[in-house]
Amino acid sequence: VQAGYSLTLDGFTPFDGAGGFIDLILKSGYFVEWEKLSREQSRYKPVAYERLIIETRHLNVNPALFPKIYSYDKEGNKVLVYSLMNADREAISQKGYAHYYSDTQYFDLGHAKNFYCPAMELSGTKGNDLVISREDYIKFFGSDVSLQNLSRGQLYIVAGESVGAPGR
């Protein structure tokens, strides 16, 4: 049914998987400049993390299909450190780009392969991009394995009940 400038469709399209919503968006050609993530050099010993878990319950984040992650450079300027341009297109079309959860109970936060950190603030016009501390950025982005896992859809955002994500 079309009403004015909006269109209402009734049907089902899965988010991930071949032919899913994310796959259709990525195949549209809108996102054309894919960039490989580069490792951040630091004094920390690189740790190969499987997933990045960002706590946002204290910030009332608005969920997004493709949230960006910002941090700070040495001079304190906010810089983009991760976005859809850095993702592995094939992997995220199958698994998704970002996964929202209501609580940390779904993760073993004590597991050495999970990197858990808080978002310091929100960014973007809709308040759905995340800003992490420089120290957290350096720790996680210091490992090629961590970056590869992140680019394959291992971004988890703990957003609370307000985003309608009970469980997953």
Residues 31, 85 contacting (CB under 8 angstroms): yes
pTM of the model as a whole? 0.77
Domain ranges of the chain: 2-163
Query: 21-34, pLDDT tens digit by residue?
Result: 666 666 666 654 55
Query: 70-107, pLDDT tens digit by residue?
Result: 999 889 999 999 998 889 988 988 888 999 998 888 88
Q: What is the pLDDT of residue 67?
A: 94
Q: How many CB atoms lie within 10 A of CB 101?
A: 19
pLDDT > 70? residue 3: no
Residues 80, 141 contacting (CB under 8 angstroms): no
Say what percent of the chain tops pLDDT 90. 43
Alpha helices by DSSP H, 17-156: 21-27, 89-95, 134-140, 144-151
Q: Which residue reads 């450190």 in tokens?
A: 81
Query: 114-151, pLDDT tens digit by residue?
Result: 999 999 999 988 889 999 999 999 999 989 999 999 99
pLDDT > 90? residue 56: yes
Residue 82 neighbours by CB under 8 Å, 6+ apart = 37, 68, 69, 150, 155
| Nearest C-alpha neighbor of 96 from the set 127, 69, 65, 119 | 65
pLDDT > 60? residue 38: no
Distance CA 17, CA 14 (A): 7
Apex CA 58: angle with CA 57 and CA 64, to 5°?
A: 50
Token duo for residue 68:
């960006």
Q: What is the pLDDT of residue 165?
A: 47
Amino acid found at 131: V
**Mean pLDDT of the region 56-79:** 91
Q: What is the pLDDT of residue 51?
A: 94
